[in-house]
Structure 1
Amino acid sequence: MSEFRPFRYRFSNQTSRYPVRRIEAGRSLGRSWRAVSLVIWLVLAGVSTREAAAGKLQRFEFLQIRMGIPVSLVVYGPDEHAANNATREAYDRLREIDRIMSDYDPDSELMQLCRTSRPGHPVKVSNELFHVLNDAVRLSRRTDGAFDVSIGPVVRLWRQARRKRELPDTDQLTLARQQVGFEAIRLDPEHQTVELRKSGMRLDLGGIAKGYAADEALRILREHGVPRSLVDAGGDIVAGDPPPDRPAWTIAIQPLGKASSKDALTLQIARTAVATSGDAYQYVEIDGVRYSHIVDPATGLGLTQSSSVTVIAADGTTSDSLASAVSVLGPERGMQLIEQTKGVEALIVVAGAEGPVTYRSSGFEAFLAVSQAQPEKN
């Protein structure tokens, strides 16, 4: 196997040896991407010069800012022209999705829906927005509201609290919580409309839209003739066909609370997705209590149990949303949800009094490198 090399994001407008590897600003689904306590490195091994000269596929790497996060594309193509064309279309698709689903852009379709829909007034929406909302509401039902995209009013209040480093005003929090409730999102598939049946509802797709966007980027790459591709949308990874010289893409996930790459677990994936959720870097301490940036709909406050969640699923929409849901549910209920979901595996790590405690789903080891497939002792 080729030597492991961590992929480091390089925020620079300078020309590099990789095509179209410039950083472009764009409107965002979030001003900062969800910090992951399982830090992911892509283990990217290149194709040799001799192989390229022989007319085999070459590897190309691209990096642009989309949806307020660094989105990395790794593709194997016959030449630079093909790789550039495919990735240009993929980044354009990500821009389209951001214009639809951003909760920061007041002109996005999502924010227009929140402004115009009200009880008794459904609004027709695009195929993309209806599809994502339908998946979100379905998961909300399965998790009894632990995952809830109507949490926007509470999230906005909690962002302010984190900046001020003080808990939200009790009356404001009570009002914000009254505006939350996935049960008030009425979807009409026949007319493709959405009705928000509570006044003041504000939707936030931050826990699902990145995964959907990564799915769409990979779909575009496939349609443009580069199926051997990998999309990393700020930690939400969707892998296509594997590199031409090996059976799978190799990535490493960094365990909770450890900074050295030697402690990382190595995963091998192909035609599947991996998402992470955690609070290693995005949290705030208020009155001696550590609060996560991840908000619990049941309380309207950030989680106080430090954890990290990695979910492997067939697509990014599923892995992204389940990682968000499991973070809120906690390890016991979260693992129960994972085990009940076909084709999904997970690794959950929570901070304990004597160190991190690890939970693995029954099939998670199938994705581990052989040398790491033995269960950990908790």
Structure 2
Amino acid sequence: MAARLERFEFSQIRMGVDTPIVVYAPSEARAVEACRAAYTRISQLEQQMSDYRADSELNMLCKEAVGRWRRVSRELFYVLWRAHRLAQQTDGAFDPTVGVLVRLWREARRTGRLPDAQTLQAARARAGYPLMELCPRRRAVRLKAAGMQLDLGGIAKGYACDNALRVLRRYGITRALIQMGGDIVAGEPPPDAPAWRIALAEGGETTLARGALSTSGSTEQFVEIDGIRYAHIVDPRTGLGLTKLVLARARARDGITADSLATAAAVMGAAGIPRLQRLYKGVQIEVWEG
């Protein structure tokens, strides 16, 4: 007879956001052990991919790969490769090299002042996915411009959720749900339901099982300057925060796909849905624009 499963919930701050994990396990000891390992895995990835940590692998890469090839970890290379491919596919609507521009907009939100034209132009010269080269054979990266800053904020959390779910499975826990901000990855559903019930930020709910759901948009984090509302999401093609109200949601088989496509869809708008769904078969994307 199969062991009775109990529900356990945990929460820690990882990658700058509250990261709840819900699991069904045969005992509290098994749940604690598995979730501790999952959080440890997320922390390892944060050390590799954070743009906030000065000593992260990503930030060290930005310093050491200018004009020369630098070998990186398998995890970081894979995420950079996925991000670069999507940048090519979207003509830069998604772009992992926008870190300099993102930092400008963090400062703008803090001070309530736009960057001047000269500062913005200088930052744009240090951003753009063609400035990052990848060599799969050597698992190496080369940057073409000094002062570049890579930013994986639109893809790394989904990847981290995927990894956490894999860790839980290694501990025999398959019925699990992991959330990092707007990114959710689900394994098998609860034993008494066909799917997990997910509350939506705009109200209502949806369901999810064996897949990922990510939401990105300009409806919550923004700053108003001179009567114009600028979102925290930067349009890599202009170097400016989005000024339109937009909410994008993507469903996919895994978190890395859902996370990155939701980010791209927020920038591209509803007009970009057919292109993204043609490139990524089986995904579902919705965009609401105001």
TM-score by length of 1: 0.75
For residue 219 of structure 2, what is the aligned residue in structure 1?
280
- 1:329 matched to 2:268: yes
Q: Is the 8 A contact 1:60 1:77 kept in 2?
A: yes
Q: Is the 8 A contact 1:230 1:240 kept in 2?
A: yes
Q: Which amino acid aligns with 1:166?
A: R
Any residues of structure 2 matched to 1:19-58 within 5 Å, and which? 55-58=3-6
- 1:338 matched to 2:286: no
Which deviates the most, 58-67 or 331-340? 331-340
Q: Is the 8 A contact 1:339 1:345 kept in 2?
A: no
Any residues of structure 2 matched to 1:191-202 within 5 Å, and which? 191-202=138-149
For residue 247 of structure 2, what is the aligned residue in structure 1?
308
Query: Deviation at 1:252?
Result: 2.8
For residue 357 of structure 1, what is the aligned residue in structure 2?
none
For residue 181 of structure 2, what is the aligned residue in structure 1?
234
Instruction: Show CA shifts across 1:103-155 (max 9, x none).
Output: 01010000000001112x11010000000000000000110000001001111
- Gaps in structure 2 of 5+ consecutive residues: none
CA RMSD of aligned residues (A): 1.2
Looking at structure 1, the residues matched to 272 and 217 of structure 2 have their Cα atoms a distance apart, in angstroms, of 17
- 1:138 matched to 2:138: no
Any residues of structure 2 matched to 1:173-212 within 5 Å, and which? 173-212=120-159
Q: Which of 2, 14, 20 is equivalent to 1:72?
A: 20
Looking at structure 2, the residues matched to 227 and 327 of structure 1 have their Cα atoms a distance apart, in angstroms, of 31
Looking at structure 2, the residues matched to 225 and 337 of structure 1 have their Cα atoms a distance apart, in angstroms, of 35
Q: Is the 8 A contact 1:76 1:243 kept in 2?
A: yes
The structure with more radius of gyration? 1
Q: 1:340 to 1:126 in 2, by over 3 A?
A: closer
Looking at structure 2, the residues matched to 341 and 127 of structure 1 have their Cα atoms a distance apart, in angstroms, of 23
Q: Is the 8 A contact 1:179 1:198 kept in 2?
A: yes
Q: Which amino acid aligns with 2:165?
A: L
Q: Which amino acid aligns with 1:330?
A: G
Instruction: Show CA shifts across 1:145-193 (max 9, x none).
Output: 0000100111111111111111111111000000011112111111111
Q: Which amino acid aligns with 1:192?
A: R
Q: Which of 93, 99, 102 is equivalent to 1:155?
A: 102
Looking at structure 2, the residues matched to 236 and 194 of structure 1 have their Cα atoms a distance apart, in angstroms, of 27
For residue 90 of structure 1, what is the aligned residue in structure 2?
38
Q: Is the 8 A contact 2:247 2:266 kept in 1?
A: yes
Q: Is the 8 A contact 2:218 2:244 kept in 1?
A: no
For residue 116 of structure 1, what is the aligned residue in structure 2?
64
Percent of aligned positions with the same letter in both sequences? Answer: 51
Query: Deviation at 1:340?
Result: 4.2
For residue 237 of structure 2, what is the aligned residue in structure 1?
298
Q: Is the 8 A contact 2:97 2:151 kept in 1?
A: yes
SS at match of 2:24: strand
For residue 12 of structure 1, what is the aligned residue in structure 2?
none
- Gaps in structure 1 of 5+ consecutive residues: 1-53, 256-260, 352-378
Which deviates the most, 71-80 or 184-193? 184-193
SS at match of 1:150: coil
Q: 1:98 to 1:254 in 2, by over 3 A?
A: closer
Looking at structure 2, the residues matched to 333 and 72 of structure 1 have their Cα atoms a distance apart, in angstroms, of 31
TM-score by length of 2: 0.97
Looking at structure 1, the residues matched to 23 and 101 of structure 2 have their Cα atoms a distance apart, in angstroms, of 39
Looking at structure 1, the residues matched to 279 and 197 of structure 2 have their Cα atoms a distance apart, in angstroms, of 27
Looking at structure 2, the residues matched to 65 and 252 of structure 1 have their Cα atoms a distance apart, in angstroms, of 20
Q: Which of 184, 191, 212 is equivalent to 1:244?
A: 191
Q: Which amino acid aligns with 1:76?
A: Y
Instruction: Show CA shifts across 1:254-282 (max 9, x none).
Output: 43xxxxx4xx1x32221100000012221
Q: Which of 42, 45, 55 is equivalent to 1:107?
A: 55
Q: Which amino acid aligns with 1:302?
A: G
Residue correspondences, number: 289
For residue 127 of structure 1, what is the aligned residue in structure 2?
74
